Structure formats: C-alpha cells, structure tokens
Amino acid sequence: MKSILVKNNEEIKKMRKAGKLAAEVLEMIEHYIVYDITTEEINKICHDYIIKKQKSIPACLGYNGYPKSICTSINDVVCHGIPNVKQKLKEGDIINIDVAIIHNGYYSDTSKMFIIGKPSILSKRLCHVAQESLYLALNLIKPNMPLYKIGQTIEKYVKKQKFSVVKEYCGHGIGKNFHEDPQILHCDNTDPGIILKPGMTFTIEPMINTGSNRVRCMKDGWTIKTKDHGLSAQYEHTILVTDKGCEILTLRKEENISQIFKINNKDLKYIK
C-alpha cells in the first residue's frame, strides 16, 4: 500500500508559502525571456533570486546530480533541459521553465511556457492545450474523487485536440520531499485504488506533444526530447486538495482563479 501523506494545517501554511515563492520566480523571470538571452543566464537570474531574495533553496540543483537550479526545455525538449551558456533563445522558440524550491523545509514545484516573439499557430495552440489540460484536471479535483480521473480527463481532451500525452513522466506528491507518493499519471489509467482526501498535496504537470508521444533521453542523461522532433509543451502546478475542491499553491498573478474554475467571482470565497 502506498503511503500518501496528508498534510496538517501547520504544514499547509508552509506549503502555501513555498508555493507562492516558486510562482514568484516565474513571474520575475518573464521580463528576461527575450531573444538572444542564454538559458544559463536565465538559470543564474533564477538561482540568485531564489537564494538571495527568497532565502530559499533551488530544489533541482544537485537533485540526483542535476547540475543547474532550474530546467529549461525548448521546442522538442519535453522536460529536464539543462541550462547552457551556448544556448540562446531564438525567434519563435517555445520554452518551458520549471522552478522547484525548498523553503522552511517544504518543497514546491511549478512550470510554464514562454514564447519568444511571434509564435506559429501550431506552437501557440500546443501551449494553450497544455495549459487547458492542466486547468481541466484542476476543475475535477475534490475529496473522494478517484485519482485516475485526472489522467483520463487530460488524455481524452488532448487526443481530441489531435496532440499526444507523454506517458513516461508524471506528477507527484510533494511536501517535505520533492517527489512523494502518489504518482499522478497524465494518461488514461484505471488504478481504482487511490482516492483523493483533503490535505493531500501533489503536482499535475502534463507534457503534450504535437506528434508522437515517444521520447528519448539524450547523452547528458537528463534532456528528454520527442523522438520525432515534434514540439512539446508543459505546465505544472502544485495543488492542495481542500474540503470543496483544490487550492493552487503555485498560482501566479497573471492567472485568474475565476477563469480557471469557470465560476463567478461571488463564489470565490468557497474555493480558498
């Protein structure tokens, strides 16, 4: 039996703080994501901000030997792209920046896509579908829901849009540890065992491809690319299961809860 930790109020407060800080890194970096900046420069700005401004620890740095503080995954890179001094952003690139931090002993983990200059219709639609698939899953979450519904719903929606879902990488429980039980699959699965309970905290982080969902790991041991070199996009949030639904711990200012949950503003107080 898997041991899924349910967080108490004290822990939830700390997770909320950690989540807010990770979201703020993505808000801060937006301004720097422009033509010609290198992914190493982006890494350095995030690293310094997390350490000096936020008095936190970049969770990726040294994790299983990972050499940098964030992941930067461009175009056909699905995830775990390593920032590099030789890699400059080009017109039309799509880049996922994945930030995970540790604050006061608790982890948070979040990522979003940025587009450089004018996007192609395809890359814009891919990023939109990746984000919508995450939001769709967030709309489902409530106590006593079977966990498999998340993956089932994401895959059904993505297939309808004629894109594919990467199966090798999933979301994860998170708290005092970076990766805890349960695994959150983003594809159809029918494990009936796991039922959501208030106090669970986990990430949802679908990786969506324009072509096939097959992936390959590069020689650096980290960078995951699409096998067919099609584009890939990902969005990730850390969430808390509440009595009524879920709270997005890594919500950014640009994101509108009432739009995400398709509700009226007057209902907002019932969500938090």
Q: Which spans of this chain sit near Co ion (rule: CB under 5 A)?
A: 98, 109, 203, 236
Please work out the total of residues on this chain that contact ligand MF3, with binding judged by CB under 6 A.
12
Candidate segments 58-66, 112-120, 135-143, 208-216, binder of ligand MF3 by CB under 6 A: 58-66
- In this structure, which long-range contacts are made by residues 258-266, counting pairs with CB atoms below 8 Å and at least 24 apart in sequence? 260/135, 260/138, 260/139, 261/138, 261/139, 262/139
**Smaller CB separation from ligand MF3, 107 or 118:** 107
Q: Which does 180 bind (CB under 5 to 8 A by kind): ligand MF3, Co ion, none?
A: none
Minimum CB distance to Co ion, residue 199 (Å): 19
State yes or no: residue 168 binds ligand MF3 (CB under 6 A): no
| Stretch touching ligand MF3 by CB under 6 A, among 30-38, 61-69, 130-138, 211-219 | 61-69
- In the chain the beta strands, taken as DSSP E runs, fall at 57-58, 71-74, 77-79, 94-103, 106-115, 164-165, 171-173, 180-184, 201-204, 207-209, 215-217, 224-226, 232-234, 237-241, 246-248
Contacts of 35 (CB under 8 A, 6+ apart): 89, 90, 91, 116, 117
80 binds ligand MF3 (CB under 6 A): yes
148 binds, among ligand MF3, Co ion, none (CB under 5 to 8 A by kind): none
Q: Which of 44, 51, 66, 167 binds ligand MF3 (CB under 6 A)?
A: 66
List phi, psi (to 5°) of 111. -150, 160
Please state, in angstroms and rounded to a whole number, the distance separating the CA atoms of residues 158 and 151.
11
Judged by the rule CB under 6 A, the positions of this chain that interact with ligand MF3 are 60, 63-64, 66, 71, 80, 98, 100, 109, 205, 222, 236
